[in-house]
Amino acid sequence: MDAAVAAVRVMEDCPLFNASKGAVFNIEGKNELETSIMLSRPPLSHPEISPTRRGIALTLLTRVKNPANLARALYLSPSSSPHPFLSGANVEAIAESLGETLVDPSYFFTEHRWREHRRGLGLPEEPFPENGPTALDSFPTGTVGAVALDSRGCIAAVTSTGGRTNKLVGQMRNGPKWVVVLVLLVSQVRVMVRGLIGGGRCPEDCLLR
């Protein structure tokens, strides 16, 4: 899990990706971020976590610098987040209590996403917000994610996204849902590969039930 979160965090900090720093704008010119994390079983380092707790999804984040970090923190803190899907200002208040970094919404501004937003609405690409443009030398790319498989054969998958350009305010995209599908798919592929290369079998407690 830590490896997958670390990989996504690097991409969240890069303005080229549609996640955190490079997130797209909604129809009102604001950034609303989403993230999710899914595990085939809880990590051994946290035996107090129920084996039925397989993941968490967050949406409508506007101030969390690294949403993937927050998803990890909340997953590992069932008392702070007993629910699998949280959104908005309430979850950001929890984030602050957990020591996660919150930023001013202007942090997420990038010139290429702003131009994309304005073009999509049929408006002139300028003016820019007060914090001004951030020039880039490369074309932006999309939603980010990472999957890690540990030595026990257990899987962790993480996604982070800004959603779709000019989405309606408050729209919840499919990013948090697709990580579940991804884990299921990778889990089945892993079982098939083990069978093909020698009849190996993943320990029962590592399989998705």
pLDDT tens for each residue of 152-207: 888 899 999 999 999 988 776 655 555 555 555 555 555 555 555 555 444 444 44
Tokens read off for 156? 């962790």
Window from 37-41, 54-58, 164-168, 203-207 with minimum mean pLDDT: 203-207
Angle at 13 between CA 130 and CA 105, to 5 degrees: 35
pTM higher than the cut 0.75? yes
Catalytic residues: 143
Tokens read off for 1? 């899990």
Pick from 70, 139, 130: nearest CA to 102: 70
What pLDDT does residue 140 have?
Answer: 58
In this predicted structure, the answer to whether residue 103 has a pLDDT above a threshold of 60 is: yes
CA 67 to chain centre: 6
For range 55-65, the mean pLDDT: 95
Angle at 99 between CA 68 and CA 45, to 5 degrees: 65
Tokens read off for 8? 């996504």
Structure confidence at residue 151 as a pLDDT band (50, 70, 90): confident
What pLDDT does residue 122 have?
Answer: 87
Pick from 193, 204, 206, 201: nearest CA to 155: 206
* Cβ neighbour number for residue 194 with a 10 Å cutoff: 14
For range 105-114, the mean pLDDT: 93
SS3 134: coil
Q: Residues 5-16: pLDDT tens digits? A: 999 999 999 999
The answer to whether the peptide bond before residue 129 is cis (omega within 30 degrees of 0) is: no
